[in-house]
A and B are shown apart, each in its own frame.
Chain A
Amino acid sequence: MKTIDVDRSLCDNHGQCAIAAPAVFRMNSDGVLEYEETFDDALLDEVEEAVDVCPVQAIFLKD
């Protein structure tokens, strides 16, 4: 398992992470990000992709 930390002071709710890794990130009906704080290693590729596509680099991965 790995851990995700989203810096809410940076997050601007672009929603790109929810496209890259929908199993972990989603936008609620107010357009605000909700996410799983831990995820299975099998999802690492798509979560790394979500980190990459965040326009404000608000997503951090931890072991």
Chain B
Amino acid sequence: MTRRIIVAGASLGGLRAAEQLRAAGWEEEIVVVGDEAHPPYNRPPLSKELLAAPGGFDEALASVLLRQRRSATGIQWRLGAAVVRADLAARTLTLAGGGQLAWDGLVAATGLRPARVQAPGPLPGRHVVRTLDDALGLHRELKPGLRAVVVGAGFIGCEVAATATSLGCRVTLIEGSGGPMERPLGARLSAGVRRFLQERGIHCLPGQRVSAFTGTGRCTGVRLADGTEVAADVVIEAVGSHPNTEWLDGNGLDLADGVLCDEWLRAVGAGQALPHVVAVGDLARYPDRRTGTGPRRVEHWATPADTAKIAAPALVAGVNGTPVPEPAAPLPSFWTDLFKIRIQGVGSPALAEQTEVFEGDPARPEDGVALGYYRAGRLIGAVTAALPADRQLHYRRLVTEAGLPADSRLAAV
């Protein structure tokens, strides 16, 4: 009888997982199940190019659809079917509507959903940006001259603020506890980015939090913790995300923040890695061999591909009962485009204890700057802004050459 691996989640992570299962030699059934009706598509443009100028729906979808590797054949796609429950002991999966599927191996790739601002007030007029439909809905509201309030100054908040400004909106950015992208960039570069955003017309409010949304029926603005009110025609919430793991509840997994995994991305239950269940993408919380820190989730675009390459061969080995191959230690990377400048990062700058300016002035990122990020005296990350890609590759090499910490061979979690 043919065996079956189910990939739960049909976005970038689900696609890469299915491709890597074939690359790892799995020739039997692969079924990819996802709640969105659209085939896998690319999300980074949703806060940038596509949000600025999506065109019609078909054009927008076509511009972001992901191409599947030609070598990945015979993959069954069940789109528009949300996964509601998995029974890891019985090896079944229940879909919305009650259908049930049996499996021999399971990939959890259900990703994240946007967190919402925890404050009272009306919901209409408030947006998040995660899906194509979210981005198209928000685009329709970003009319020139309107007042937009963006809550949260991470990648998505900053990108949406820049895009809305370029569309002619008057934008207020409510930063929250950290400055613009302060965790991945560090305080110095973050301050430079704030100045850059302010000079392009964005009204930044550092250290401010939303205590309530104003208006009756429809949101007309925000009230800040200090009592100030900021009027808004449209509000965008970009305050982080939650892993979609509820469907795995009740199976003894550690789901405190995503799916706890070992370094092969195998889900860990009762202190032991399960050979038949792996996680892929930004819901996987796995040991970081490069920084030597504990398991954590990595919310970057490259993570689905990086984790799929480790998880797929491990799952095939687990289902076949063969030895698992040595896992790679992926080097995270990320980028953002704000107005005309690109910021690129590699490694884990967020875990740094010290930073060093390699070139340029962090106060003026638009003129070209590079920073190194150190932990325990070792270079663990680098960020460039407004520098050509070959400079970024140079600094990436420095991080690679810094190697892994001496104790990087972690025992099972």
B70 close to A31 (CB less than 8 A): no
Q: Chain B contacts of A28 at CB under 8 A?
A: 390
- How many Å lie between the Cα of A55 and that of B337 in the bound state? 12
Nearest-Cβ distance from residue A59 to partner chain B, whole angstroms: 10
Closest chain A residue to B387 by CB distance?
A31
B335 close to A31 (CB less than 8 A): no
Q: Which residues of chain A from 17 to 60 have a CB within 8 Å of any chain B CB?
A: 18-19, 27-33, 48, 51-53, 55, 57
Q: Chain A contacts of B392 at CB under 8 A?
A: 15
Contact with A along B371-413 (1 / 0, CB 8 A): 0000000000000000111111100100000000000000000
Q: Given A18-B393, A30-B388, A52–B305 Cβ distance below 8 Å?
A: yes
Instruction: Answer whether residue B322 sits at the interface, using C-beta atoms and an 8 A cutoff.
Output: no
B66 CB contact (under 8 Å) in A16, A19, A31, A57: A57
Closest chain A residue to B394 by CB distance?
A27
B302 CB contact (under 8 Å) in A15, A18, A53: A53
Contact with A along B317-348 (1 / 0, CB 8 A): 00000000000000001010000000010000
Instruction: Answer whether residue B69 sits at the interface, using C-beta atoms and an 8 A cutoff.
Output: yes
- How many Å lie between the Cα of A3 and that of B289 in the bound state? 36
Nearest-Cβ distance from residue A6 to partner chain B, whole angstroms: 14
Closest chain A residue to B69 by CB distance?
A48
Q: Given A14-B389, A29-B388, A53–B67 Cβ distance below 8 Å?
A: no
B393 close to A19 (CB less than 8 A): yes
Report the contact-size class of chain B (Cβ under 8 Å from the partner): 20 to 34
- How many Å lie between the Cα of A61 and that of B70 in the bound state? 9
Q: Chain A contacts of B393 at CB under 8 A?
A: 15, 18-19, 27
- How many Å lie between the Cα of A27 and that of B397 in the bound state? 14
A27 close to B390 (CB less than 8 A): yes
Closest chain B residue to A61 by CB distance?
B70
B389 close to A15 (CB less than 8 A): yes
Instruction: Answer whether residue B247 sits at the interface, using C-beta atoms and an 8 A cutoff.
Output: no
Q: Chain A contacts of B391 at CB under 8 A?
A: 31
Instruction: Answer whether residue B166 sits at the interface, using C-beta atoms and an 8 A cutoff.
Output: no
Q: Chain A contacts of B67 at CB under 8 A?
A: 51, 57
Instruction: Answer whether residue B147 sits at the interface, using C-beta atoms and an 8 A cutoff.
Output: no
Instruction: Answer whether residue B211 sits at the interface, using C-beta atoms and an 8 A cutoff.
Output: no
Instruction: Answer whether residue B42 sits at the interface, using C-beta atoms and an 8 A cutoff.
Output: yes
B16 close to A27 (CB less than 8 A): no
B388 close to A16 (CB less than 8 A): no
B396 close to A14 (CB less than 8 A): no
- How many Å lie between the Cα of A27 and that of B44 in the bound state? 22
A15 close to B390 (CB less than 8 A): yes
Nearest-Cβ distance from residue B156 to partner chain A, whole angstroms: 15
Instruction: Answer whether residue B77 sits at the interface, using C-beta atoms and an 8 A cutoff.
Output: no
Instruction: Answer whether residue B196 sits at the interface, using C-beta atoms and an 8 A cutoff.
Output: no
Instruction: Answer whether residue B71 sits at the interface, using C-beta atoms and an 8 A cutoff.
Output: yes
A16 close to B390 (CB less than 8 A): no
Q: Chain B contacts of A13 at CB under 8 A?
A: 388-389
B42 close to A57 (CB less than 8 A): yes
Q: Chain B contacts of A30 at CB under 8 A?
A: 388, 390
Residues of B within 8 A of A (CB): 16, 19, 42, 44, 66-67, 69-71, 301-302, 305, 333, 335, 344, 387-393, 396
Enumerate 28 A-B pairs (CB-CB under 8 Å) in ascending A order: A13-B388, A13-B389, A14-B389, A15-B344, A15-B390, A15-B393, A16-B302, A16-B333, A18-B389, A19-B396, A27-B388, A27-B389, A27-B390, A28-B390, A30-B390, A31-B387, A31-B391, A48-B71, A51-B69, A52-B19, A52-B69, A52-B305, A53-B302, A53-B305, A55-B42, A55-B44, A55-B335, A57-B42
Besides A31-B388, A52-B16, 15 new A-B residue pairs in contact (Cβ under 8 A), listed by A number: A13-B388, A14-B389, A15-B344, A15-B390, A18-B393, A27-B388, A27-B393, A28-B390, A30-B388, A31-B387, A31-B389, A33-B389, A52-B19, A57-B67, A61-B70
